[in-house]
Amino acid sequence: MSLGSRAWDHGEEMSNDSQKIRISLGLIAKQLKSIYPFPLRKGTISYVAFNGKENLLDFVSTYSFTTKGIEAMFRVTYQVKNDKKNEKENLLVQEEWMLDGKKFKEGKGNEGIAWSLIKNAESIRFSFYDLDEEKWLKEWKAEEKKSLPALIKVTITKMKPGKKALENFSIIIEPPVREKG
């Protein structure tokens, strides 16, 4: 194979990988922009169904990847999983119909089918902007905060194919509603 052909293939591989991440971030953004502040109660405490950690997002959305066109509420879970074979991270997505808040309130996991949205990243992280504290947090507990975060950031770091350089991709989304629970 000639040097020109290898360079072309390498450039195409980089472009395809970057494009897949951008498309995935677009889908994530669409779902985050469709967050629904599903109300929950624990005793006298009212809050919205949302939990966020550096490696986990769990919320209710009116948009589903799998049931396009159906108007309903879905519990959506994004979870970062370590691939021990290649020491990379994958982003798994699960969706299930949100019939009531019982499983969410009891901390039970999402029972929807999981699939990989992003594979072989160096890192995938979520962070949450708190208007009261005026800073980014690594964790958001809606039960304590009583609302959704002001902003949600998704950052994906990938190794550029054939290089020793990292490439960062990120989006910052403002949830549509920030009502207190």
At residue 110 the predicted structure's pLDDT band, cuts being 50, 70 and 90, is low
What per-residue confidence (pLDDT) applies to 12?
47
Give the strand pairing for 135-137 and 140-141. unpaired
What per-residue confidence (pLDDT) applies to 34?
92
Q: Round to whole Å and give the CA distance between 155 and 25.
A: 9
Q: What is the reported pTM?
A: 0.82
| Tokens 């009261």 belong to residue | 132
Task: Answer yes or no: is pLDDT of 181 > 50.
Answer: no
What per-residue confidence (pLDDT) applies to 11?
46
pLDDT in tens, 133-158: 999 999 999 888 888 999 999 999 99
Helix (H) or strand (E) holding 142: helix 142-145
Tell me the mean pLDDT in the region 46-52.
90
Q: Are 117 and 23 in contact (CB under 8 A)?
A: no
Tell me the mean pLDDT in the region 77-96.
92
